[in-house]
Amino acid sequence: MQKTIEVSTHKHNEMIDITEYIHDFVSESDIETGNVMVYVQGATAGIMIQENWDDSVQNDVISMLNKIAPQGVWEHDRIDNNGAAHLKSGLVGPSECIPVIKGKAGLSTWQNVFLCEFDGSRKSRKIVLTLHKSR
């Protein structure tokens, strides 16, 4: 099974919880055991599993990435001023793979899946969800 979802972003750097999309996608299937791959299309965004108890962890992730890859100092900035966004995307990565256990996404209590925007705002970020059934 495969499904593409679209998410709007509102800030230059932000993390948007997309966990509910994954839970809905897995529950729509009849798959008890397998994997769901979450992949964002685009070279300036990423997917990350992280805690969502409050905003502090997401704020810390963005702060850390801004320190590692500050805005406006990269060679690519001379082309389209988003060198930092490309570097952050490369560090985070475009995908996560989550096990499906007993018909549910195998995330722990504190784990949520985030779209990480590094070059926003964007009217639409496309995220491909692919579900594989184990034999």
Domain total of the chain = 1
- Confidence band for 32, pLDDT divided at 50, 70 and 90: very high
**pLDDT per residue over 14-30, tens digit each?**
999 999 999 999 999 98
- The pTM of the full predicted model, rounded to 2 decimals, is 0.96
**pLDDT per residue over 47-68, tens digit each?**
999 999 999 999 999 999 999 9
Q: What is the DSSP string of 54-81?
A: STHHHHHHHHHHHHHS-TT-STTHHHHS
Centre a 10 Å sphere on the Cβ of residue 118 and count the other Cβ atoms it contains: 29
Asked if the structure places residue 1 within a domain, the reply is: no
Question: Sign of dihedral through CA atoms 92, 93, 95, 97?
Answer: negative
Domain hosting residue 94, numbered range: 6-133
Helices 56-68 and 83-92, interaxial angle, to 10°? 120
- Confidence band for 114, pLDDT divided at 50, 70 and 90: very high
Distance, in Å, from the CA atom of 35 to the CA atom of 47, rounded to the nearest integer, reads 16
Asked if the structure places residue 100 within a domain, the reply is: yes
124 prior amide bond cis, ω within 30:
no
Question: The domain spanning residue 22 has which CATH number?
Answer: 2.60.120.460
- DSSP code of residue 96: E
Q: Are 129 and 5 in contact (CB under 8 A)?
A: yes
Chain-centre distance for alpha carbon 130: 14
Structure tokens at 110: 């504190």
